[in-house]
Amino acid sequence: MKRWTPIMALFVVVALILTACPSPTPEVKVVKETVIVEKEVVKEVQVGQPIHIVARCKAAPPHEEGRCNNLVSAVGAANAALAEKGDDRRIELEIIQDNADWGDYKTEFELASDAGQAPDIVCSGHEHIGDWGPAGYLVDVTAMLGDYTEFDDVIDALWASTEWNGKRWGVPQDAEARPMFYNKTLLAELGWSDADIESLPDRIMSGEFTWEDMFDTAEEAVKAGVVKEGNGWWHRPKNGGDFLYYYYTAGGEIVGDGDALIFDKAAALKVYEKLYAAVDRGILSDTRLDGDWTGWHTGITDGDVLFAFGGSWNWAEWFSNYVADRGGQDYLWEHFGFAAIPGMANGTGKPTTLTHPLIYMISSASEHPDLALLLISKASVKELNTDYAIASGHLGILKSQAEYGPYMSAKFLTQVLPLLDVTTFLPNSPHWSAWSNGYYEGIQAAESGFSAEDALDLAVDYLQNELGENVVIR
């Protein structure tokens, strides 16, 4: 026993020393190893009681950083408003901004909420309201919105994206459209006249040029050697909201009367048939869903692809990061055009697009939701939102921007704006994610060589297995 006494004593001493070591206070919050996290604390000369507010944003650097940076810019106006009201509280803002994956970003907020450590403000996709509203993570701001006149300027149609269960759970931060980009140079090589090329957006909007026409043109380009096999048409390289508008234009509905989501087999089958045919005809590569965004951007901006379904923010991404050395926006205007997504002739026949507004939401764990909303209101003004919209390729959210010089002189934004006439949204439903996964499994199958019918069977199997009574298969 005597031999062990020193060992045990040493063990106890080491344990005590380790316990006594103070845990370091991190200066920078690290969300995960591979994610860049910025933290900026805005401190003003304190004349009142400082209130620490934390805002969390997902933003691709540098063009989307206005999401949180606009809140930083709004601190002064918010504190001035407090001073004017005789409120002695003053906002001290900390922002956490990075470009995490959507899934990780959402999970982080959920875990933080459950641990009581959620940020006061989170800027996220509107569809997350479907999960976070029922879970009690968000503040219902319906009754509070009237206290801030800035919100009267928000485009009425956008409020729908903040709603769940008849209530509003946040404030729109941005809007966008998801257009079809086309390469003008390649179309000209294919023999299209300038007039044909310039009129393409109008012909799509009128329903004259359909999805089927797009595939025929893409196939012609592949056969003529204008583009390589598989480069006639590209969609995004991984799952995402885009694929839902395929279903919409095929005639599908997703939201019904109850809480359950609808899966329309006829519409989904049309989508799977289209995708199977695209690979079969050499328009689309069977490895297109490779998850490689860099390769996707490079392929399109290098002029290798005839048609590509993307997002309005891609424009900003491309001129900032991909063609800056070739002339930036001028290069893009010279070589690329954009239009609504052509309608499927065997579906609705109508052109479409999808808008995925990001929403500023307030955590139910916030001790100062009124200050959080005040800050959001001061960030939701035309000057700040226009700066963000121009830099990021997103659309404005305010009615007054339609008459605001800097916004209206931004050629890209004004030309994208008409697409909102045919826009659609993701559903704010807690079942959306599982629905999307099932539908996407069918897409992967169709592009991997499964027949459209088999792809549909897989999707239906998945949805019934995952959602049970929360999906109506019809």
Partner 1 sequence: MAEAVMGRKVIRGQKPPSRWAQFKATMGAWGFMGPATVLVLVFFFLPVVILFVISLTDLSSSNFSDPLTFVGLNNYVRLFRDRFFPKILGNTFFYVAVTLSCFNVGMALLLALLTTHINRRAGFFFRLIWLLPRITPSVIYILMWRRISHQPPFGLINQLLAPFGVEPQYWLFEQPWLFVILVNGFVGASFGLILFSSAIEAIPRDLITAAKVDGASTWQSIRDIVLPMIRWPLLFVTTYQTLSLLTSFEYILLLTEGGPGLYTTEVWALTAYKRALKTYFGHNQWGYGAAWGFVLVIIGIAMSIIYLRVFRFNELVQEPKIDVL
Contact residues toward partner 1 (CB under 8 A) are 1, 4, 8, 11, 34, 101-107, 110, 113-114, 125, 127-128, 131, 134-137, 238-240, 286-287, 289-292, 295, 430, 432-434, 436-437, 440-441, 444-445, 447-450, 458, 461-462, 465-466
Written as six digits, the tokens of 216 are 């025929």
> What is the nearest approach in angstroms of partner 1 to the Cβ of residue 77?
33
Q: What's the rounded Cα separation, in Å, for the pair 396 and 16?
A: 58
238 vs 399 by CB, closer to partner 1: 238
> What is the nearest approach in angstroms of partner 1 to the Cβ of residue 334?
23
> What is the nearest approach in angstroms of partner 1 to the Cβ of residue 128?
7
**What is the DSSP annotation of 169-206?**
--EE--B---PEEEEHHHHHHTT--HHHHHTHHHHHHT
90 vs 126 by CB, closer to partner 1: 126
**What is the DSSP annotation of 380-442?**
SSHHHHHHHHHHHTPBP-BGGGGG-HHHHT-HHHHHHGGGGGGEE-----TTHHHHHHHHHHH
> What is the nearest approach in angstroms of partner 1 to the Cβ of residue 274?
18
94 vs 447 by CB, closer to partner 1: 447
138 vs 339 by CB, closer to partner 1: 138
> What is the nearest approach in angstroms of partner 1 to the Cβ of residue 316?
22
Q: What's the rounded Cα separation, in Å, for the pair 349 and 328?
A: 35
Written as six digits, the tokens of 408 are 């209206």
Could you say which DSSP state residue 463 is in?
H
344 vs 452 by CB, closer to partner 1: 452
Q: What's the rounded Cα separation, in Å, for the pair 284 and 309?
A: 12
106 vs 382 by CB, closer to partner 1: 106
Containing H/E element for 315? helix 312-317
Q: What's the rounded Cα separation, in Å, for the pair 176 and 410?
A: 15
Q: At what angle do helices 211-223 and 265-280 cross, to 10 degrees?
A: 10
> What is the nearest approach in angstroms of partner 1 to the Cβ of residue 170?
17
205 vs 361 by CB, closer to partner 1: 361
Q: What's the rounded Cα separation, in Å, for the pair 296 and 59?
A: 19
> What is the nearest approach in angstroms of partner 1 to the Cβ of residue 76?
34
**Residue keyed to tokens 């701001």:** 141
256 vs 295 by CB, closer to partner 1: 295
> What is the nearest approach in angstroms of partner 1 to the Cβ of residue 50?
30
Strand runs labelled E in 274-318? 307-309
